[in-house]
């Protein structure tokens, strides 16, 4: 869904505060004032079993958040090999006010990692609209020793945004994945989680809005 991604990668404490970003030059119109809602059409994957992923829309319609309670990949320390990879596939139905359509211009992923020396943790995500061919993915890799909150941000230029078709209801699909490999001392467990130590916001998807032509 998102093209020409630019990526910022940090490993630092995350406050969990949702910041509303002001659009830059050439940005799309402001968010609609009528309420936007997001429903989970389907959820599938070892990292988001039913009931463990929730979606909420910011009060100003600038973004929506996805929070996970059991999204964790771990390796080493006798943990089964199957625990080293977790994934989540979400299909979301975004209900927008008449006369508007949207794209997702920026995505913030936050979590916690405890990686032993020599261990690696990988976070991957892809996005696309149902029935549309434009798909983008981005992979981020962390290396041990790490014992901290982590954050990655994917953004796209305004001119490269892909918008949902006006007047058509297309699910917005989000596929994410976590992988963890054991460190040099395989008796110690390493893990990556899409979560934070204080349980605050995990993943934030920022909207860009566009007016649809009158029919």
Percentage of the chain beyond pLDDT 70 is 81
Residue 125 has pLDDT above 50, yes or no: yes
pLDDT of residue 8: 34
Q: What is the pLDDT of residue 82?
A: 96
Nearest to 14 by CA among 145, 150, 178: 150
> Confidence band (pLDDT; 50, 70, 90) for 52?
confident
Q: Mean per-residue pLDDT for 141-160?
A: 87
Instruction: Tell me the per-residue pLDDT of 53-110, one tens digit each, with 9 for 90 and over.
Output: 888 999 999 999 998 888 999 999 999 999 999 999 999 999 998 899 999 988 999 9
pLDDT tens readout for residues 2-37:
333 333 333 333 323 233 333 333 445 678 888 999
């Amino acid at each position: 869904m998102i093209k020409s991604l630019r990526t910022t990668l940090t490993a630092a404490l995350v406050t969990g505060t949702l910041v509303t970003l002001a659009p830059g030059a050439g940005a799309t119109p402001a968010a609609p004032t009528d309420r936007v809602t997001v429903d989970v059409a389907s959820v599938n994957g070892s990292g988001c079993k039913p009931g463990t992923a929730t979606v909420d829309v910011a009060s100003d319609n600038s973004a929506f958040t996805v929070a996970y309670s059991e999204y964790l990949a771990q390796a080493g320390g006798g943990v089964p090999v199957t625990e080293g990879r977790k994934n989540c596939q979400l299909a979301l139905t975004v209900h927008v006010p008449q006369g508007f359509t949207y794209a997702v211009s920026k995505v913030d992923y936050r979590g916690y990692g405890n990686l032993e020396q020599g261990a690696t943790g990988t976070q991957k995500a892809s996005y696309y609209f149902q029935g549309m061919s434009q798909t983008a993915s981005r992979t981020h890799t962390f290396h041990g020793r790490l014992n901290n909150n982590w954050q990655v941000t994917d953004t796209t230029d305004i001119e490269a945004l892909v918008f949902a078709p006006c007047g058509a209801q297309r699910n917005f699909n989000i596929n994410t994945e976590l992988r963890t490999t054991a460190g040099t001392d395989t008796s110690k467990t390493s893990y990556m989680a899409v979560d934070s130590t204080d349980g605050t916001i995990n993943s934030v998807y920022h909207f860009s809005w566009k007016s649809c032509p009158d029919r």
